[in-house]
């Protein structure tokens, strides 16, 4: 492992978050979100491409708050 983030599909992101203890996705009004304890993490809507490394970094930082 090189320590760098690689783009992942939405399904891969959901699977990996579930392995880390998150539940969901739960559909909100505009976006789905994952839940862990009292934390809520908004995940991107499905689209044709992968989720890029820059967005993954932002999601991971938000999940740590």
Residue 55 lies in a domain: yes
Percent of the chain with pLDDT over 70: 95
Q: 1 in a domain, yes or no?
A: no
For the segment 25-47, the average pLDDT, to the nearest whole number, is: 90
pTM to 2 decimals?
Answer: 0.82
**Is 30 inside a domain boundary?**
yes
Residue 26 lies in a domain: yes
Q: How many CB atoms lie within 10 A of CB 4?
A: 6
What pLDDT is attached to residue 1?
47
- How many Å apart are CA 21 and CA 59, to the nearest integer? 15
pLDDT digits (tens, 9 = 90+) for 51-60: 999 999 998 8
Mean pLDDT of the chain: 89
Instruction: Answer yes or no: is 22 within a domain.
Output: yes
Two structure tokens written together for 64:
């740590």
Q: Is residue 54 part of a domain?
A: yes
Within-domain flag for 59: yes
Strands 39-42 and 32-36: antiparallel
In which domain, by residue range, is 33 found?
10-64
Q: What ranges in the chain are assigned the alpha helix state H?
A: 10-19, 53-64
How many domains, in total, are found in the chain? 1
């Amino acid at each position: 492992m090189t320590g760098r983030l690689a783009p992942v599909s939405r399904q891969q992101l959901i699977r990996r978050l579930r392995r880390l203890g998150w539940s969901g996705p739960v559909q909100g009004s505009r976006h789905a979100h994952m839940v862990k304890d009292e934390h809520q993490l908004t995940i991107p809507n499905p689209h044709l491409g992968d989720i890029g490394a820059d967005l993954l970094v932002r999601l991971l930082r938000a999940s740590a708050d």
